[in-house]
Each structure stands twice: as structure tokens, then as C-alpha cells.
Amino acid sequence: MPVKNSIFILVFSLLAIAGCTQNQNQPVEKTQQSMNFKQLTPEETRVIVHKGTEAPFTGKYDNFSENGTYVCKRCGAPLYRSSDKFDARCGWPAFDDEIKGAVKRIPDADGMRTEIECAKCGAHLGHVFLGEELTPKDTRHCVNSLSLEFIPAAAAVKSAATDTAIFAGGCFWGVEYYMKKIKGVVSTEVGYTGGKKDHPTYKEVCAGNTGHYEAIEVVFNPGQTSYEEVAKMFFETHDPTEWNHQGPDWGEQYRSAVFYRDEAQKEIAQKLIARLKANGFKVVTEVIPAKTFWKAEDYHQDYYDHKGTAPYCHGYVKRF
């Protein structure tokens, strides 16, 4: 074969391989970006993302025996039950069983051990060992505490009975004032979300270079109210036709937005906006996937309750 043709075929083959590799990676990247991961500290990132190991006998769950469920630190997926935890005296939390389908086993890069990952998000957990005869199940999941979050049994029951909504509609003091009046709302917390700055401060958000919105996280009991009713209160206590201000308050942090946590919330928000537009309102409210919610400083929480006055930039207007 002529040299010129050989070079052409070689180059074409390399390009094809590169293209296939790129296409294979795209769905993974999209999936990773679309999952609502918790913010990790540098040390958690070293263990969970880069498959590191915490020092033995230093983890918070090594010598720990409360009743509840251990979930993935990164994505929150349930992984282990406290009833399957035992004292292996190895320096790390040990479990002889996992919640069905929650843990994935893969050959470790060292060619000898078996690594375990969160089946939902791929977070590194540790390693699994068989044949040690430490429990009747003859299995030991050796897990880094940094890879886990513990949910007490009582909190798990409460969590199952509540849902969460996140909104931004101008000064979060006023939004919270009205949300707290809804029967069935369990708790509220004001903060910042939607931007690019980790752990933002009020001063930084007001400066207008973080991209964050002043927002509120509303925890409610679905047995007493619904996401739709909570969302209606949101649309009726701020002006959804104003882009970056409410009343006398101006700034990008005052934009109107619904941060949906699942497709059901997204559909409800879009349905309500469509109804408002059909009634002649030129709604500018954004409908955005929920991102990390950063709690605001303590003096912003329940502001009007402490001050004993009513909002100056929000008021109830029936729109539905």
C-alpha cells in the first residue's frame, strides 16, 4: 500500500476513535451535571471523587451505634441500615449487608480488592471483603465515614412525611413572611441559590457578582397542603411580571424564579405560569432546576417575626 494512503487511513482511524470516545463521554457528563449533588469539602472530594481513604479510627461513624439509615454523602441515596452495622475493629464503619441495589461492586485498580460505589451516583465508598467469618453473613463492607451521612430513624420518618419547595421572588424577608402563613408549612429558611459562588454572604450577593438569587426553602406537609398551593401563594405575594426588582428593591438578586426539585414540580410551575399568561399577566418568572441552597445569615431568618412589622415590598394579590 502506498505510504500516502497508509497515513490517510491512520489519521482517519484516530479521528474516528476520538469521536467515538467523545460521544461515549457526553451522556455521562450530562448525567453528572443533571444530578443534584451535595457540595463536598476538599477532603470529601479526595475520598468520594478521587477514591481516597480516610485515616483509620478517625471517622465519625467508626464507633457509632445509633438507629437509622446511612445515605450517600454526595447524592443522598440510602445505602446501609444501622441493623447491618457491626464492630469489626478495623478502624472504619463496617456493614455485613447493604440495601438491595444500593451498592455497586467493581474490581479495584490494584487488581486484588473489590471496590464498592454508590449505585446511583458512583461515589467511592470503600471496599468489600468476604471470607473473614466476622458475622454469619461472612461479608464486610469497609466504608469511609466521609462517604456517608447518617439519618436518624425519627428524622427519616419526618422526611418521608414532608416535601420541599424553593422560590425566589424579591427580598426573601417578604416571601418568607407569607409562606409561613400557609397551613401545612413545617419550616422555612431563607438563603441564596442559582449562582456560582460557594458559601456566599449577603454582602457578596448584594454586590451583584455572584449570580445568586435571594431565595426561600419551604418544607411542607403534603397531607395538609400541596406544592401547587404553595406555588400559588408564591405567585400571589410577589409580582411575577417584574424581572429584577420587587417594589423599591432593585438588583439581580431579586429576580423571580421557581427552582424545581423534580419533573412534577416543574410541570406544576409551568401550568400556573400558563394560567397567568392566559389571564393577561406578562410573567417573567424563570423555571430552573434546583441547585445548592446556601442558608443566609441568622439575622435574615424569620426577619419580620423578630421585627414585628409587615413587608414593605410584598403584598397579597389574588391572581388565580
Residues designated catalytic: 142, 171
Instruction: Give the whole-angstrom CA distance, residue 251 versus residue 273.
Output: 23
Confirm if 174 and 165 have CB atoms less than 8 A apart. no
Measure Cα distances from 258 to 56, 166, 181, 240 in Å.
Answer: 44, 6, 19, 11
- Please tell me the total number of residues recorded for the chain in this structure: 320
DSSP string, 58-78: -STTTT---SEEEEETTT--E
Q: What SS3 state is found at 217?
A: strand
C-alpha cell belonging to residue 19: 469521536
Q: Please give the radius of gyration of the chain, using alpha carbons only, rounded to the nearest integer.
A: 25
Measure Cα distances from 68 to 78, 81, 106, 116 in Å.
Answer: 10, 6, 27, 21
For CA atoms 255, 260, 263, 264, the dihedral sign is negative
Stated as kind and residue range, the H or E segment containing 140 is strand 139-143
Scored b (16 or more CB within 10 A) or e, 104-124 reads eeeeeeeeeeebbbbbbbbbb
DSSP string, 184-206: TEEEEEEEEESSS-SS--HHHHH
Alpha-helical (H) ranges within the chain are 3-34, 42-48, 153-160, 172-179, 202-207, 227-236, 263-278, 303-307
Look up residue 244 and give its DSSP letter. Answer: S
In the block, cell 434546583 appears at 290
